[in-house]
């Protein structure tokens, strides 16, 4: 065997060894993407291929995607939704897990199909099974979007919106999660805590006047008013019970709980069975301040 033959053979072997990595890294017309959102401890992830309009009819639906077609909102392998905690999608309950998403497209009303099988290619279309969840959705017209896009919007408290856009069409899906902590408090638990307290920051000079914190029981929740408030978003707040006399503080906007702050906790103290004060602790076990009942 000549040295030229040996060199050629070695080059061919090297090329063959490289083929698998080349194939796995090949360019795709619809590149894969993913987007995640955490809503009160629930992590929701959409994994999908992202086709582009690329000069086709910008309406897309009824043309490139035919009426009556069972279409995964993406391309190639089916778009998936994964959640680590119970989730409601447009009111439809989903257990923690991973699902493939499909849409039956029609001129006016579409059907969402949620399938527990995830490694499905977009063609042939999946068969109907008893394990699938189906419900109606209504698309609307939107500004032109070249690349199919999922985004999360209006994330507040225990809910949010998943928005799908492609061409001049959009579909909105309402997300609702289970709160990590109960948002209501039994009246018997709340009653001993109610009233007015004078709050002072730890280390503040005696010349600084205290703030007043007033706690009331409203519609099953333990609500507070802080005046003057250290931050605008806690002027009105909700206490969320985590255990015994420990509570997290939640921001309330327009009457809606929108944020529960892990970095702050209220600990109530009792003397002879009566609540006499509470302390505010930061998440690094630092005492930030103390409030004494008036």
d(CA 117, CA 131): 9
**Within its chain, how far is the Cα of 65 from the centroid?**
29
Of the options 2.40.128.50, 3.30.420.40, 1.10.1740.10, 3.40.50.720, the CATH number for the domain spanning 187-293: 2.40.128.50
Residue 5: in which H helix or E strand, if any? helix 3-24
| pLDDT value for 26 | 62
**Within its chain, how far is the Cα of 263 from the centroid?**
20
Number of H helices, E strands in the chain: 2, 19
For the chain, percent of residues with pLDDT exceeding 90:
70
| pLDDT value for 218 | 96
DSSP 8-state symbol, 79: P
Task: Kindly report the backbone phi and psi dihedral angles of residue 202, in degrees, each rounded to the nearest multiple of 5, phi listed first.
Answer: -65, 130
pLDDT digits (tens, 9 = 90+) for 257-270: 888 888 899 999 99
Comparing 26-30, 122-126, 132-136, 196-200, the range with the smallest average pLDDT is: 26-30
pLDDT digits (tens, 9 = 90+) for 189-231: 999 999 999 999 999 998 999 999 999 999 999 999 999 998 8
Cβ neighbours around 91 below 10 Å, total: 8
DSSP annotation string for 8-19: HHHHHHHHHHHH
pLDDT band at 4 (very low <50, low <70, confident <90, very high): very low
pLDDT at position 25 over 60? no
Q: Looking at the DSSP assignment, which residues form a beta bridge with residue 153? A: 161
- Identify whether the C-beta of residue 261 lies closer than 8 Å to the C-beta of residue 282: no
Comparing 25-29, 127-131, 148-152, the range with the smallest average pLDDT is: 25-29
**Within its chain, how far is the Cα of 233 from the centroid?**
21
Could you tell me the pTM of the whole model? 0.76
pLDDT digits (tens, 9 = 90+) for 59-110: 799 988 999 999 999 999 999 999 999 999 999 999 999 999 999 999 999 9
pLDDT band at 254 (very low <50, low <70, confident <90, very high): confident
Burial class (CB in 10 A: 0-12, 13-18, 19+), 48: buried
Domains in the chain: boundaries: 28-177, 187-293
């Amino acid at each position: 065997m000549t040295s030229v033959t040996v060199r050629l053979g070695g080059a061919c072997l090297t090329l063959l060894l490289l083929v698998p990595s080349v194939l796995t890294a090949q360019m795709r017309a619809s590149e894969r993407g993913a987007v995640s959102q955490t809503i009160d401890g629930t992590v929701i992830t959409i994994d999908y291929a992202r086709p582009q309009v690329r000069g086709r009819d910008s309406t897309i639906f009824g043309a490139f995607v035919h009426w009556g077609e069972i279409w995964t909102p993406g391309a190639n392998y089916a778009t998936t939704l994964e959640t680590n905690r119970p989730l409601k999608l447009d009111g439809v309950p989903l257990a923690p897990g991973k699902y493939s998403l499909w849409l039956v497209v029609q001129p006016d009303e579409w059907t969402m199909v949620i399938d527990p099988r995830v490694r499905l290619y977009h063609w042939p279309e999946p068969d109907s099974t008893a394990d699938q969840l189906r419900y109606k959705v209504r698309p609307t017209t939107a500004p032109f979007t070249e690349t199919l896009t999922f985004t999360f919007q209006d994330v507040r408290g225990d809910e949010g919106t998943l928005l799908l856009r492609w061409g001049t069409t959009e579909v909105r899906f309402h997300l609702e999660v289970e709160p990590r902590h109960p948002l209501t408090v039994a009246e018997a638990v709340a009653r001993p805590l109610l009233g007015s307290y004078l709050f002072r920051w730890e280390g503040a000079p005696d010349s600084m006047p205290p703030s007043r914190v007033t706690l009331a029981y409203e519609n099953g929740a333990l609500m507070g008013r802080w005046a003057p408030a250290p931050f605008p978003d806690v002027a009105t707040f909700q206490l969320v019970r985590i255990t015994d006399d420990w509570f997290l503080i939640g921001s309330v906007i327009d009457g809606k709980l929108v944020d529960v702050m892990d970095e702050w906790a209220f600990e109530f103290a009792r003397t002879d069975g009566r609540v006499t004060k509470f302390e505010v602790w930061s998440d690094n076990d630092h005492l930030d301040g103390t409030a004494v009942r008036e």
